[in-house]
Structure 1
């Protein structure tokens, strides 16, 4: 019965596996204004999902960051407002550390998946001014190094299809920081599914090993 059900579902899954999903990332910082946009498109751009985070501010009442998020899809628009506290950040770091320890071969899985990802657009422009010519020049040089290393790492792990465009414009007489970032990457849904299955499989193995080691050190007479 299971094999029959698999044979019936397989013809429907095959086209989805070979579909490409495009991910558009856009970030703009202009003074105190920030906007982050994530957009996902697939099936000849007929299926779309968009996440916009237009507001990012520090809460005056508690040590936390407040952000508003708007999600748009074919099902409608949904707005969310949340606080990201320091305690939540520390909890996330603990969960991530535990995840990395338990997932055996995580680096290999991620590296193989990233090798299937294509970078079709990369545009990063920054205007920086420190109000002092010497400091502005040093900051500009540091930014060139950071952006150059970013492109080097990206080229090493991903398939760069379009020439990355990076710009840095120093403003020697003004105190300002403005940046705009646009990137579009694409990958097949099948590669993402395969990577997810591998992560879950290794995560399960890691949890089993962790549980065995914990039990082995426990005094059963207590």
Structure 2
């Protein structure tokens, strides 16, 4: 009996070690050609046993009142995960609700900004390709815009490198098209990873920060209940 318990304990320890030493990998692909966009996000964990794939086939701006129409397609390989499609409009009300939720989360967590910054430094970007082909319909204007776009891209990459670790040098391309019509095509291909062990450690540190904050646990519990019910605007307003 003791031998079986020892074997089970060793197996459990081996599984825990394998999980902690695994990596959570992600890939992001974005393409915009004129008015058409497409965004794909893939997340792989536990040596490929858990996979999530999100696709946003397009964003349609339907005016100030209706906002941005987004369709999300989700598929996954994991326990209790199946194909799922959702459509919704993102308007000013949604943005305001998210901002209120963020403010409440900051108030309920001691040093949340510091924790976020420290956690992001452990994210490794292993691939970052960003290409842009465009024409403004005028040769002089296109050439001037190409120089400005180069400067903008390298400025953004410099800012990102201060937050997230870039393991490989980004590949940036700007290709001006000297044609007599306006056209635009941009592609972003990004991949990266972070340690599952550090993700567990970061989650533990976050929990400690919540516990140390005055009524942090209660506030987060209320926020999670509100988010699950989807009635953010009304309930957040009532609690202020």
Q: Is the shorter-chain TM-score for this pair beyond 0.5, marking a shared fold?
A: yes
Deviations 1:175-214 (A, max 9, x none): 12211001001011121222233334334544548x9xxx
Residue of structure 2 equivalent to 1:63? 66
Tell me the CA shift for residue 99 of structure 1.
2.9
**Where does residue 129 of structure 1 map in the other structure?**
135
Q: Distance in 1 between matches of 2:64 and 2:112?
A: 39
Q: Deviations over 1:23-46 (max 9, x none)?
A: 000101011211111101123334
SS in 2 for 1:137: helix
Taking structure 1 as the reference length, the TM-score comes to 0.79
Q: Would you say the 8 A contact 1:125–1:167 is kept in 2?
A: yes
Match of 1:183? Answer: 190
> Structure 2 vs 1, CA of residues 32 and 9 (structure 1 numbering), >3 Å: closer, same or farther?
same
Shift of 1:143: 1.9
Structure 2 residue corresponding to 1:44, chosen from 31, 42, 47:
47
TM-score normalised by L of structure 2: 0.74
Q: CA deviation at 1:101?
A: 4.8
Distance 2:97 2:124 in 1: 33
Q: 1:156 to 1:62 in 2, by over 3 A?
A: closer
**Structure-to-structure mapping, 1:31-180, within 5 angstroms:** 31-59=34-62, 62-74=65-77, 75-173=81-179, 174-180=181-187
| Separation of aligned partners in 2, 1:199 and 1:172 | 52
- Contact 1:110–1:195 (8 Å) recurs in 2: no
Is 1:199 the counterpart of 2:203? The answer is no
Shift of 1:62: 4.1
- Stretches of structure 1 that go unaligned for 5 or more consecutive residues are 1-6, 212-222
Question: Contact 1:22–1:186 (CA<8 Å) still a contact in 2?
Answer: yes
Deviations 1:77-108 (A, max 9, x none): 11111111211111212222343355333333
| Match in the other structure for 1:4 | none
Partner of 2:5 in structure 1?
none
> Which whole-Å CA distance do the structure 2 matches of 1:124 and 1:207 have between them?
44
* Structure with more strand by fraction: 1
State the distance in 2 between where 1:47 and 1:113 align. 22
Question: 1:21 aligned to 24, 27, 30, which one?
Answer: 24
